[in-house]
Chain A
Amino acid sequence: MSAIAIVSSFADDAECAHAIEQLRVAQVGDFNTFSPIPSHRIEHAIGKKKSPVRWIVLAGGISGILTGLAITIGTTYEWRLNAGGKPLLSWPPFIIICFELMVLLGGISGFTSVLALARIPTAEIAPGYNGRFGEDRFGIVVHCDEEQAERIESMMKEAGAEEVVREGV
């Protein structure tokens, strides 16, 4: 049961990523990171699989196309009006509508899925968060209990942490 959080900050993402690898080697799983920029190094180090956002966007896009077909064809047949002697099913214009709706719903679903998956908006501040992590420092917060603490702290220092702080929870 994790009683303490060890917050260590790094100057650049290379060291941060290195430290993360160390943690994983050491089978310490219960940690999370803060970074001012999206860093591929860190992402690889953590090694989680690709975000499911892409599937949600795909679904959104497809539903957009279907909606487009539904309203264009549907409304045309709801009241079969002759405009300029053109056939009821005038595909080319319908495709435009479908395309626009694909983009629209795809975009909306993309945005909303991020909010959902990244758990924002949120009011709670993750333990160990510090303004500088948004500015120019990369942080790792490891949740562990007393006996692991020493070992992890040293691990972080080796990895090149500028400072390592222990916070009670």
Chain B
Amino acid sequence: MKKLDREKPSTPISRRSFIKLAATAGAAAALPGCEPAARKLIPYVVPDENVVPGVPSFFATTCAECPAGCGVVARIREGRVVKLEGNPADPIGQGALCARGQAALQGLYNPDRLAHPQLRGSDGALRTVSWDEAGKMLGDRLTAASKAGKDRVAFFGSPQGPTFQKIALAFIGAQNSSRAIFYEAINQEPARGAAKTLFGRRDLPTYRIDQAEMLISFGADFLETWQSPVELARQYSLFRTPQNRRGALSIGRATYVGPRLSMTASKCDDWIATAPGAQADVAWSVLNVLVKNGKVSPNSGFDLAALTKAVANFDPAATSARTGVPAETITALGEAFGKADGALAIAGTDDSSAHLAAMILNSVTGNFGKTIMFFEGSPAEDTSTPDEVDAAVDAMRGGEIDVVFIAGANPVFTMPAAARIAEALQKVPFVVWAGGVPDETAAMASLLLPAHHPLESWRDTAPRAGVRGLGQPVMQPVFDSRPVGDILLAAAAKSSSAKLPWTTTAEAVKAEWLALASKAESPDSEDFWTKVRREGGLFEEQHLAALTLDTSPFKAAVPTAAQMQLSVYAYPHIFLYDGRGADKPWLQELPEPVTQLVWDSWAEIHPETARGLGVGKDDLIEIKTEHGVIEAPVLVASTVRPGVIAVPIGQGHRAYGRYAKDVGGNAWAILAAGATYAEATARATGTKRALVTPLGNADMMGRSIVEAMSIEQLAAGVLPESHEEEVTGPYEMYAPWKYPGHKWGMTIDVNACTGCSACVTACYAENNVPTVGKDGVDRGRIMSWIRIERYFPNATEAAEAPQLYLAPMLCQQCDHAPCEPVCPVFASYHTEEGLNGQIYNRCVGTRYCENNCPYKVRRFNWFVPEWPAPLNLQLNPDVTVRGAGVMEKCTFCVQRIQFAELNAKTEDRELRDGEIVTACQQACPTRAITFGDSNDPASAMMRRRDDNKLRNYRALEELNTKPAITYLRDLYREKGKA
């Protein structure tokens, strides 16, 4: 208690609050983790006065798991980062963080990370070398190469922020070369291309779905992997929140056009199943309808005649004939889009055409500046163009390059077979690889250098105009690694006489940022430096760019959809993205929301097509395209269009650590450069490989687990048929238990839940939930405390219900918990604050509680859980690590409740509403989860409940378990209504 008082100023109050960040900035300056000099994790011999055992400190930094560039706040305990959460100050993530962001920790603590520099001998075997040796060798090679002539040294890496880009360019410049390639496998080239054609600029627009009332996505999985999922998901949930639009209560209308019912598509009202690549055709056709209906706003600057000519080939009937999409569907879509007060069309296809059409759609309906906008001062493009990439690879293949320095991007895995990158690398005498877990590219390198994880190094991001994220090291390096920037700078210094502006990344980043200080309001640069580190970046006003329309391109539009018998459509796995997530067990074990599959890749095939091919569930098929071959087990599902085989990208690693190696097949291998689909042939191999899922039965059987109602019903104030008779107060045999003080509860808005599973990963991280591997999941031992329920509407519902039911299921903390009275030893009991407590060290493991739990949310430790070092460093010290033989379950993050209550107590004040934020709630991009005190009618949680009375429901309410969680029904639009 005393200690806490002394530490009061540095005790954070809420993850959300600015004060906390301010208070910990002091510590930020002093924590050893921030001194690049320190290289080892050592136990405290002399304790650091900034590190108080048991008291976390928080550091703002940035997420490097995808180009979206969300800000994060890292929670540090005893000098090691134990949890990542969204940075509330960051305008993109706004405090939320997706599953991939959460899992960055397992990249940091990955047991397979390269621990020391290694050199590949002539026999191909690796031997550990010292940094000096490695540095010298690199220096010599570079000197030799740069002396040998111009452009004989190449840098090939992933974009790692503007400052890093500068360092890399400085490095390459010093090598008398200009070959610096920044490669992002999933890039925005088509979008940039479209912008270029239409507005003569290659930057990316910013979207405001929440400003629209109509949304069409032409194959953009904006809730999963497209551009900035967290931000767009948040906007989408606002878009779908019932609100009065022109006098009527309504939700935004969303349509998805694409080959697969992705998670995104499942959250839209309509899924228009087209062949991959046919989206453009539909997009132009929708435009055609608009043009015909004279919806082209006069001040949009378009020449109507030219436009009409451009869309001439896309009469709905014609398009329908080509794509099989009913003409009336397209017409209806076009009309709705024209009518909508605020509409947005986005495209995620690999061809510029769809992007162009979408952009024109937005433009002609005058939505630029409203639902989509270009801003002044967009950051410089951070990826090289395909031509530059090809040129570099050709140069390597041509033997024109002596040394290539690879940092990130894993080109051998992600580049299309056509690029023949592996072959090219073999032609390069000296390949240097710097990174974390040695991947397929490292396997081809002569010198392997352990690089800092982004969380260990200084870095910055520039996701878009007005947003600059600053990444600071949040802890000491776990391994004997160095920042890539430092390696480059050191090498450059050794190998050339060129004068470099900085010697370390830290120096470079600070210099770069102090240069920004002038722009910022605070004149004193040190204040500025503290401020930006505290807030995690510099976030400024954005200013709309003046757009100059170039109306030349419209002749270009011609039907593009090539007719294919059978095509394979590869989409980035929501959790593995381009493959970089595959080394993280949390992400491998997280069921893909739509298929619910784990630890594998699969071939999703429509029942018809499967019958045609004569294959069934789990049959291992060989999918062949002109580019390559991939094997995957069949998943027969109607979530994909007939004639299309959908395979996830991200698996199929042949290196990249124990968790990724030899799991599934690599879908990049069957694609052309920049393509997402290809014509394919498929044949059964005759063998089977069982796909593994924690899902038992996909049919909810009309049980009240996930419920939905139509917006029309909501507007009319009526309950869904199944619930017309109001639930009358259930018969009580006993006087209800009293909960003076707090009684914790939760409200979950199923309509807001997208199924993205950020909550699940957050729970794994916060509560030390172990992963069990493919076999474990197959044997029904998955440990997740919170899961995303996925149910298909059954035949009778299908006409009305949403495409899929998706909702989080966790311990309902029932007042009449069936699990409690059956426990012989009070290991499961009810706390004075209404929690369903589980006392691990009292549990004897009868497992009766789980038998009696209707929601099946309790998890049993069948074995002693394992976290191969150093993964164990991530374990949250506030939560017991359970041993074998005990039952465990969600406790509403009781440790966080305790933490907040203790703070309130030490500060001698009442607990504030919203002060306690559970891990799942914190992570949720759409804020679907609200936690609070149900004894306090004013709490946000209770208000959300009461403001949506008609949507309230409790899971399996008829059992009278009295859950502390109230769900808000999912909302859908009755089919055929505008």
Q: A and B: direct contact (Cβ < 8 Å)?
A: yes
Are B734 and A83 in contact, CB atoms less than 8 angstroms apart? no
Set of chain B residues within 8 Å of A82, measured between Cβ atoms: 737, 820, 829-832
Are B735 and A84 in contact, CB atoms less than 8 angstroms apart? no
Are B734 and A87 in contact, CB atoms less than 8 angstroms apart? yes
Q: Please tell me the size bucket of the interface on A.
A: under 10
The interface bits of chain B over 940-978 (1 if a CB of A lies within 8 angstroms of the residue's CB, else 0) are: 000000000000000000000010000000000000000
Provide 12 A-B residue pairs closer than 8 Å at the C-beta atoms, listed in order of the A residue: A81-B826, A81-B829, A82-B831, A83-B817, A83-B826, A83-B830, A84-B814, A84-B816, A84-B819, A85-B734, A85-B737, A85-B817
Measured CB to CB, the residues of B under 8 A from A are 734-737, 814-821, 823, 826, 828-832, 962
User: Once bound together, how far apart are the Cα atoms of A118 and B734, in whole Å?
Assistant: 52
User: Once bound together, how far apart are the Cα atoms of A87 and B732, in whole Å?
Assistant: 12
User: Once bound together, how far apart are the Cα atoms of A81 and B826, in whole Å?
Assistant: 8
Are B821 and A83 in contact, CB atoms less than 8 angstroms apart? yes
A49 in contact (CB, < 8 A): no
By beta carbon, the residue of chain A nearest B738 is A82
By beta carbon, the residue of chain B nearest A83 is B820
The interface bits of chain A over 62-87 (1 if a CB of B lies within 8 angstroms of the residue's CB, else 0) are: 00000000000000000001111111
Are B962 and A85 in contact, CB atoms less than 8 angstroms apart? yes
User: Once bound together, how far apart are the Cα atoms of A10 and B48, in whole Å?
Assistant: 99
Set of chain A residues within 8 Å of B829, measured between Cβ atoms: 81-83
By beta carbon, the residue of chain A nearest B821 is A84
Set of chain B residues within 8 Å of A84, measured between Cβ atoms: 814, 816-821, 830
User: Once bound together, how far apart are the Cα atoms of A83 and B819, in whole Å?
Assistant: 9
Are A86 and B734 in contact, CB atoms less than 8 angstroms apart? yes
Set of chain B residues within 8 Å of A83, measured between Cβ atoms: 817, 820-821, 823, 826, 828-830
Set of chain B residues within 8 Å of A85, measured between Cβ atoms: 734, 736-737, 815-817, 830, 962
Q: A84-B817, A87-B735 are in contact. List 6 more A-B contacts (CB 8 A).
A: A82-B831, A82-B832, A83-B829, A85-B815, A85-B817, A86-B734
Of all A-B residue pairs in the complex, the 7 with the closest CB atoms, nearest first, are A84-B821, A84-B820, A82-B830, A83-B820, A85-B816, A83-B821, A85-B737
The interface bits of chain A over 83-106 (1 if a CB of B lies within 8 angstroms of the residue's CB, else 0) are: 111110000000000000000000
User: Once bound together, how far apart are the Cα atoms of A83 and B839, in whole Å?
Assistant: 13
Set of chain A residues within 8 Å of B821, measured between Cβ atoms: 83-84, 86
User: Once bound together, how far apart are the Cα atoms of A82 and B814, in whole Å?
Assistant: 12
Set of chain B residues within 8 Å of A81, measured between Cβ atoms: 826, 829-830
By beta carbon, the residue of chain A nearest B826 is A81
User: Once bound together, how far apart are the Cα atoms of A83 and B828, in whole Å?
Assistant: 8
User: Once bound together, how far apart are the Cα atoms of A81 and B842, in whole Å?
Assistant: 14
Set of chain B residues within 8 Å of A86, measured between Cβ atoms: 734, 821
User: Once bound together, how far apart are the Cα atoms of A85 and B830, in whole Å?
Assistant: 8
Set of chain A residues within 8 Å of B818, measured between Cβ atoms: 84
CB of A78 to closest CB in B, whole Å: 12
CB of B943 to closest CB in A, whole Å: 26
Set of chain B residues within 8 Å of A87, measured between Cβ atoms: 734-735
CB of A84 to closest CB in B, whole Å: 4
User: Once bound together, how far apart are the Cα atoms of A91 and B458, in whole Å?
Assistant: 66
Set of chain A residues within 8 Å of B816, measured between Cβ atoms: 84-85
Interface of A is mostly: loop
CB of A38 to closest CB in B, whole Å: 43
User: Once bound together, how far apart are the Cα atoms of A140 and B239, in whole Å?
Assistant: 105
CB of B324 to closest CB in A, whole Å: 56
Set of chain A residues within 8 Å of B734, measured between Cβ atoms: 85-87
CB of B98 to closest CB in A, whole Å: 37
CB of A71 to closest CB in B, whole Å: 14
By beta carbon, the residue of chain A nearest B828 is A83
User: Once bound together, how far apart are the Cα atoms of A84 and B815, in whole Å?
Assistant: 6
User: Once bound together, how far apart are the Cα atoms of A85 and B819, in whole Å?
Assistant: 11
CB of B426 to closest CB in A, whole Å: 67
User: Once bound together, how far apart are the Cα atoms of A55 and B694, in whole Å?
Assistant: 62
By beta carbon, the residue of chain A nearest B737 is A85
Set of chain A residues within 8 Å of B823, measured between Cβ atoms: 83
Set of chain A residues within 8 Å of B826, measured between Cβ atoms: 81, 83
CB of A97 to closest CB in B, whole Å: 12
Set of chain A residues within 8 Å of B737, measured between Cβ atoms: 82, 85
CB of A76 to closest CB in B, whole Å: 11
By beta carbon, the residue of chain B nearest A93 is B821
By beta carbon, the residue of chain B nearest A87 is B734
User: Once bound together, how far apart are the Cα atoms of A83 and B832, in whole Å?
Assistant: 11
By beta carbon, the residue of chain A nearest B736 is A85
Set of chain A residues within 8 Å of B817, measured between Cβ atoms: 83-85
Set of chain A residues within 8 Å of B735, measured between Cβ atoms: 87
Set of chain A residues within 8 Å of B832, measured between Cβ atoms: 82
User: Once bound together, how far apart are the Cα atoms of A87 and B826, in whole Å?
Assistant: 15
User: Once bound together, how far apart are the Cα atoms of A85 and B829, in whole Å?
Assistant: 9
User: Once bound together, how far apart are the Cα atoms of A35 and B931, in whole Å?
Assistant: 80
User: Once bound together, how far apart are the Cα atoms of A87 and B737, in whole Å?
Assistant: 8
By beta carbon, the residue of chain A nearest B732 is A85
User: Once bound together, how far apart are the Cα atoms of A85 and B831, in whole Å?
Assistant: 10
By beta carbon, the residue of chain A nearest B836 is A84
By beta carbon, the residue of chain A nearest B815 is A85
User: Once bound together, how far apart are the Cα atoms of A84 and B830, in whole Å?
Assistant: 7
User: Once bound together, how far apart are the Cα atoms of A86 and B814, in whole Å?
Assistant: 12
CB of A5 to closest CB in B, whole Å: 60
User: Once bound together, how far apart are the Cα atoms of A87 and B736, in whole Å?
Assistant: 8
CB of A81 to closest CB in B, whole Å: 5
User: Once bound together, how far apart are the Cα atoms of A84 and B821, in whole Å?
Assistant: 5
User: Once bound together, how far apart are the Cα atoms of A86 and B826, in whole Å?
Assistant: 13
User: Once bound together, how far apart are the Cα atoms of A89 and B819, in whole Å?
Assistant: 19
CB of A90 to closest CB in B, whole Å: 8
By beta carbon, the residue of chain B nearest A79 is B826
User: Once bound together, how far apart are the Cα atoms of A105 and B817, in whole Å?
Assistant: 35
Set of chain A residues within 8 Å of B819, measured between Cβ atoms: 84
CB of B838 to closest CB in A, whole Å: 12
The residue in A81, A82, A84, A86 that gathers the most chain B C-beta atoms within 10 A of its C-beta is A84
CB of A88 to closest CB in B, whole Å: 10
User: Once bound together, how far apart are the Cα atoms of A143 and B150, in whole Å?
Assistant: 133
User: Once bound together, how far apart are the Cα atoms of A85 and B818, in whole Å?
Assistant: 9
CB of A157 to closest CB in B, whole Å: 68
User: Once bound together, how far apart are the Cα atoms of A83 and B837, in whole Å?
Assistant: 10
The residue in A81, A83, A86, A87 that gathers the most chain B C-beta atoms within 10 A of its C-beta is A83
Set of chain A residues within 8 Å of B831, measured between Cβ atoms: 82
User: Once bound together, how far apart are the Cα atoms of A81 and B150, in whole Å?
Assistant: 79
User: Once bound together, how far apart are the Cα atoms of A81 and B817, in whole Å?
Assistant: 13
Set of chain A residues within 8 Å of B830, measured between Cβ atoms: 81-85
User: Once bound together, how far apart are the Cα atoms of A82 and B815, in whole Å?
Assistant: 10
By beta carbon, the residue of chain B nearest A86 is B821
User: Once bound together, how far apart are the Cα atoms of A63 and B828, in whole Å?
Assistant: 32
By beta carbon, the residue of chain A nearest B816 is A85
Set of chain A residues within 8 Å of B820, measured between Cβ atoms: 82-84
The residue in B815, B830, B962 that gathers the most chain A C-beta atoms within 10 A of its C-beta is B830
CB of A110 to closest CB in B, whole Å: 29
User: Once bound together, how far apart are the Cα atoms of A120 and B219, in whole Å?
Assistant: 92
Q: Which residues in window 44-70 of A have CB below 8 A to B?
A: none
CB of B690 to closest CB in A, whole Å: 39
CB of A70 to closest CB in B, whole Å: 19
CB of B898 to closest CB in A, whole Å: 19
User: Once bound together, how far apart are the Cα atoms of A15 and B241, in whole Å?
Assistant: 102
User: Once bound together, how far apart are the Cα atoms of A81 and B823, in whole Å?
Assistant: 12
By beta carbon, the residue of chain A nearest B830 is A82
Set of chain A residues within 8 Å of B828, measured between Cβ atoms: 83
User: Once bound together, how far apart are the Cα atoms of A84 and B831, in whole Å?
Assistant: 10
CB of B316 to closest CB in A, whole Å: 60
The residue in B814, B818, B828, B829 that gathers the most chain A C-beta atoms within 10 A of its C-beta is B829
CB of A51 to closest CB in B, whole Å: 40
By beta carbon, the residue of chain A nearest B817 is A84
By beta carbon, the residue of chain A nearest B834 is A82
CB of A75 to closest CB in B, whole Å: 10
CB of A54 to closest CB in B, whole Å: 35
User: Once bound together, how far apart are the Cα atoms of A86 and B817, in whole Å?
Assistant: 10
CB of B272 to closest CB in A, whole Å: 49
CB of B887 to closest CB in A, whole Å: 15
CB of B394 to closest CB in A, whole Å: 71
By beta carbon, the residue of chain A nearest B739 is A82
User: Once bound together, how far apart are the Cα atoms of A84 and B737, in whole Å?
Assistant: 9
